[in-house]
Amino acid sequence: MNDLAIELTGICKKYRYFSLDKISLKLPQGEIMGLIGANGAGKSTTIRILMGLIHQDDGEARVLGYPMPAEQVAAKRDIGFASEDMRLYDSMTLGWHTSFIQSIYPNWDAAYAQVLLKRFGLRADQKIKGLSHGQRVKSTLLLVLARKPKLLVLDEPTTGLDPVARHEILRELANVMADEGRSILFSSHNTQDVEQISDRITFIDRGRIIDSMDKELYLDRWRRLRLEVPSGVHLPALPGVIDVRQQGRLAVATANAFVPGLANAYETSGARVQCIENMTLEEIFVANVEHSREEVEA
């Protein structure tokens, strides 16, 4: 049993209007991976394949060492899955759901479940249909968290939640980190949360993985350089710079493979580097997607 929580190799899946193209990613045990992509990019499909809910056309999927979907029953004993389109039974109470889950999973932590009930502001005797959207999401997550699964797979766990609820969820995900043997894969549109809590980041766009790597290394590769370009100076095309926008005397260069020598190269060409800025994950996301789409079209 290797210590990769998730290992996807060359996963392909073809639909009529969309296909996943050779998706490969690795999540080592004990780490958190954030999966980012535009709507329809293939995040949910990839997640469903690794959960064994969809059978891939080609490629290998191993989750907690189990090949999927062949051994999904064994794998799902140790995986906690929650997706944005998942619903609980409206006519039943949260308490009924916890008993139901408890009857299936032996390592349900009842004490922790109580703590979460309080922390999330939920009541066991309330019927699901009477809950607000945020409370429903928190209920689903409670059912998954209290089992303390080895791997958490969450498809947009905080979408549609108010800031307080989002913060509560993030705290609980952080608590999972305390155990080195547990891992998390989550997809989210909330780039701030992904940036803060992920050890690894995977970018997916139009069915392809654009980037998948260590978050700090990744953030370090991206910079925005603000340049002052005197008249008569032509900005050179430099390796590692994927976009340059110039208006009059001012230009902004976006680099996805920044090295200090880049600034020098600009200065040598006659431009003046006003400042070199870090980019937030959101800015990287947009720049990355735009760039990769241009590349595909070219």
Partner 1 sequence: MAEPLTLSQSDKRPMYLQIMEQVKQRIAVGDWKEGQPVPSIRQLAVDTAVSVITVKRAYLELEREGIIVTQPGRGSHVSTTPGLGARLREQELQQHLENAMRVAAQLGIRPKEMERRLREAGDRVAERETV
Partner 2 sequence: MTDSVIPQLIRKDLRLHRLQMVVSFGAGVLALAVMQRGGEVSLVLGSTWYFVAIIVLACLLPISMVQNERKKQTLAFVMSLPVSYIQYTTAKMVSTVLMFLAPWLMLLICALTLITTRNTLPHGAIPMILIMALLPVVGFSLILAAALVSESEGWAIAATVICNSTYGIAWYLITKTPSLTANWTGHVAIWDQAVLRLLSAEVGLVALMIGLTFLLQSRKRDFI
* Identified binder of partner 1 from the candidate list 8, 13, 20, 31, rule CB under 8 A: 31
Which of partner 1, partner 2, none is residue 180 near (CB under 5 to 8 Å by kind)? partner 1
Which residues 113-142 are close enough to bind partner 2 by CB under 8 A? Answer: 140
259 contacts partner 1 (rule: CB under 8 A): no
Please choose, from the candidates 48, 51, 113, the residue with its C-alpha nearest in 3D space to the C-alpha of residue 79: 51
Cα separation of 121 and 63, whole Å? 33
Binding test (CB under 8 A) with partner 1, winner from 215, 223, 258, 265: 215
> Most distant CA pair in the chain: distance in Å?
75
Contact 244/251 with Cβ under 8 angstroms?
yes
Q: Which is nearer to partner 2, 18 or 89 (CB)?
A: 89
Asked if residue 158 binds partner 1 (CB under 8 A), the reply is no
CB nearer to partner 1: pick between 21 and 283: 283
Question: Does residue 16 belong to the site contacting partner 2 (CB under 8 A)?
Answer: no
93 binds partner 2 (CB under 8 A): no
CB 47 within 8 A of CB 155: yes
List the one residue from 35, 43, 81, 141 that touches partner 2 (CB under 8 A).
81
The torsion angles phi and psi of 106, rounded to 5 degrees, stand at -70, -30
Does 181 participate in binding partner 1 (rule CB under 8 A)?
A: no
- 23, 32, 68, 82: which one binds partner 2 (CB under 8 A): 82
Amino acid making up residue 107: N
Cis peptide preceding 67, ω within 30 of 0 = no
Residue 98 Cα to chain centre, angstroms: 27
Is the CB of 96 or the CB of 112 nearer to partner 2? Answer: 96
Which SS3 state, helix, strand or coil, does residue 102 take?
Answer: helix
What angle do helix axes 133-145 and 94-104 make, rounded to 10 degrees?
Answer: 20
- Residue 275 touches which member of partner 1, partner 2, none, C-beta under 5-8 Å by kind: none
Task: Determine which residue in the list 16, 17, 104, 248 makes contact with partner 2, applying CB under 8 A.
Answer: 104
Among 16, 17, 87, 111, which residue interacts with partner 2 (rule: CB under 8 A)?
A: 87
For tokens 């050779």, what's the residue? 22
